Structure 1
Amino acid sequence: MSADTTTPAKVPPPRQAPPPPPVGEKPSPGRPSAGAGTPWLLLAPCLGILALVLGYPLVRLVTLSFQKFGQSQLWGFQPAESVGFDNFTKVLGDSEFWAVVVRTVVFAAGCVIFTMVAGMLIALLLQRVSGWVKILVNIALVASWGMPIIVATTVFKWLFDADYGILNALLSRLPGVEMIGHNWFASGPQGLAVIMLLVVWGAVPFVVITLSAGLTQVPKEMEEAARLDGAGAWGVFRYVTLPILKPIIVMLTTLSVIWDMGVFPQVFVMRNGHPEAEFQLLTTYSYDRAFVVNDYAQGSAIALLTVVLLLGVVAVYMRQMLKIGDVE
């Protein structure tokens, strides 16, 4: 047999990716690259809408807070006068304003604490129930979340009505309890507690749904390892679940503070459009000064101070998120 004298075909070496360009060197003309202004170009429509919807009212609010502006100026009988910081001096020197600030902070803190605790407990419970129970609970949460505020407030007014409220009727069935005719809004603390319950009832669904989504990202292996190391249910939650959920909890807490500091329709509707002094929060107090007393400038000053207070909350939120980012 003759030997095979054919030359074997040469296999080309595998093609390697070109090395990345050195730092500071511009990419080659054939390589597509996004310019530095591309993100701003994509955000321009959204920023333009925000500037139209929020920018002008905010500028108008700031302008009014430094002017003397009442009904005479509103109807054009007198021109608006610049009064500098007089409106802020009057507001900050009013003891009633500081009472409203304290009441608002306490009210918002109570709403946030009860919302986060109830939301976390329900979210943890949903991880341990059967599928059909979870579906029913989620349907109930979405239904309560989607209910309009006015409708929910009307329902709560009926539940806590002094004469026909179902809550008084149920409590009166307990031995030694007589609640028929009890007026829950006879005092500020009781009435605000009812409104707080209404706010928490409307805010819990969002917290539960968000935390439930976050709990699905907790690795089961870490929980099992913690249990093998001797950690109980509280230890697993504190050292495994809670650190992973911390960014979500910080976000939800900040949003809850902002929303609960801005509660208006619940108080306004519950008190039939005329909240008494014991029920005044910053939002309703600013409204009363502007549209009941007809001092639009002072109402604007109160609203602007509320915005500054909320900006402080946002600053704390941003600081916490940056700390979390540095740790990660």
Structure 2
Amino acid sequence: MSAADTTTAKVPPVRQSPPSGSGASGPAPQGGKRKGGAGIPWLLLAPCLIVLILVLGYPLVRLVTLSFQHFGQPQLWGFQEAESAGFDNFTAILGDGEFWAVVLRTVIFAAGAVIVTMVLGMLIALLLQRVSGWVKALINIVLVASWGMPIIVSTAIFKWLFDADYGVLNWMLSRLPGVDMIGHNWFASGPQGLAVIMLLVVWGAVPFVVITLSAGLTQVPKELEEAARLDGAGAIGVFRYVTLPILKPIIVMLTTLSVIWDMGVFPQVYVMRNGHPEAEFQLLTTYSFDKAFVVNDYGTGSAIAVVTVLLLLGVVAVYMRQMLKIGDVE
């Protein structure tokens, strides 16, 4: 090799920059945002936010305002001006043992309904993965039909099923050896009656849970399940260590929504008890309604409703915390 070749080999290639004014430019810096791009999401969300403010904003503000007032029929008809009550309404309900009994009954009712709904929904969703296509389609049609049934209609059906004199359930149970349920009144006691109403709530909520979990199960990688089986995991192990972690965000969302819906149950109790729920059937929603529209104490009824909203906001806060944890892990 000559000296000239050695010198040429050691010289690194020189990059030529584009001439100025040629219109060529280097790569755009990553992470840059277009001017005005930050306002586009808010512009797209504006119609939805306006509707929420109009539909929910005024009623919520009016509810909070009434909770701090003495407001009855004279104020409703305009015969007297509403008087400020301060925190008297809240002090009255928080110091009332009946109110706390209703809160406890509501929490137990909602917890029971949510647990039964989620367990049944998960079992049915898992079973749907193991049936043929036409059976799965038929079951989904039935689930959607039951989910779309109006609450008043489903409540009337359950009233007939559990009727003391003409109920089908009593007749079917009486066909069993040694069982006599003819004339049995399921609503003679609060726990039995609330159990029937809980079944009604679960019956209406399970379809949504099943359909959502079924969609989530389609996203579980089959390779992970096969790997778990090859490592010696059984059906329970595969579900616990593979399926459940992947479905956790969906389960958290469904559980939170179910708690909110089940704590806000009103028409099922109101219609099942013919518009006059007894004391042992009172939940927070019906208790607030009775105070406001039966006793005509709108201030106290509003205060109960505000406390209910605060309890539900606590549930939402727990949901947001769980979702943030899941996001950090991912």
TM-score in same-fold range (> 0.5): yes
Could you tell me how far apart the structure 2 residues matched to 1:245 and 1:17 are? 47
Pick from 169, 175, 178: which aligns with 1:176? 178
Alignment of 1:76-95 (within 5 A): 76-95=78-97
Which residue of 2 is the match for residue 13 of structure 1? none
1:17: Cα distance to partner? 9.2
1:33: Cα distance to partner? 5.1
1:37: Cα distance to partner? 1.4
Pick from 294, 300, 304: which aligns with 1:292? 294
Which residue of 2 is the match for residue 119 of structure 1? 121
Which residue of 1 is the match for residue 265 of structure 2? 263
- Say if 2:21 is the partner of 1:19: no
Task: Write the deviation string for residues 23-78 of structure 1: whole angstroms up to 9, x where unpaired.
Answer: 7xx77xxxx65522111111111100100000000000000000000001001111
- The one-letter amino acid of 1:214's match is G
- Say if 2:47 is the partner of 1:45: yes
Q: Give SS of 2:253's match.
A: helix
Which residue of 1 is the match for residue 187 of structure 2? 185
Which residue of 1 is the match for residue 135 of structure 2? 133
How many residue pairs get aligned? The number is: 307
Task: Write the deviation string for residues 135-183 of structure 1: whole angstroms up to 9, x where unpaired.
Answer: 1111110110000000000000000000000000000000000001000
- The one-letter amino acid of 2:98's match is E
Could you tell me how far apart the structure 2 residues matched to 1:313 and 1:17 are? 53
Could you tell me how far apart the structure 1 residues matched to 2:238 and 2:48 are? 42
- The one-letter amino acid of 1:43's match is L
Q: Which runs of 5+ in 1 are unaligned?
A: 1-15
1:22: Cα distance to partner? 6.6
TM-score by length of 1: 0.92
Task: Write the deviation string for residues 209-268 of structure 1: whole angstroms up to 9, x where unpaired.
Answer: 000000000000000000000000000000000000000000000000000000000000
- Say if 2:150 is the partner of 1:148: yes
Could you tell me how far apart the structure 2 residues matched to 1:90 and 1:214 are? 46
Which residue of 1 is the match for residue 323 of structure 2? 321
Please list every run of at least 4 consecutive aligned residues from structure 1 whose deviation after the TM superposition is greater than 4 angstroms: none
1:120: Cα distance to partner? 0.1
Q: Give SS of 2:141's match.
A: helix
Could you tell me how far apart the structure 1 residues matched to 2:193 and 2:108 are? 14
Which residue of 1 is the match for residue 14 of structure 2? none
Could you tell me how far apart the structure 2 residues matched to 1:70 and 1:33 are? 55
Alignment of 1:66-77 (within 5 A): 66-77=68-79
Task: Write the deviation string for residues 273-311 of structure 1: whole angstroms up to 9, x where unpaired.
Answer: 000000000000000000000000000000000000000
Which residue of 1 is the match for residue 60 of structure 2? 58
- The one-letter amino acid of 2:256's match is T
Q: Give SS of 2:229's match.
A: helix
Q: Give SS of 1:35's match.
A: coil
The two structures, once aligned, show a CA RMSD in angstroms of 1.3
1:19: Cα distance to partner? 1.8
Could you tell me how far apart the structure 1 residues matched to 2:134 and 2:85 are? 63
Could you tell me how far apart the structure 1 residues matched to 2:44 and 2:221 are? 36
Residues 67 and 123 of structure 1, relative CA distance in 2, 3 Å threshold: same
1:21: Cα distance to partner? 2.1
- The one-letter amino acid of 2:240's match is R
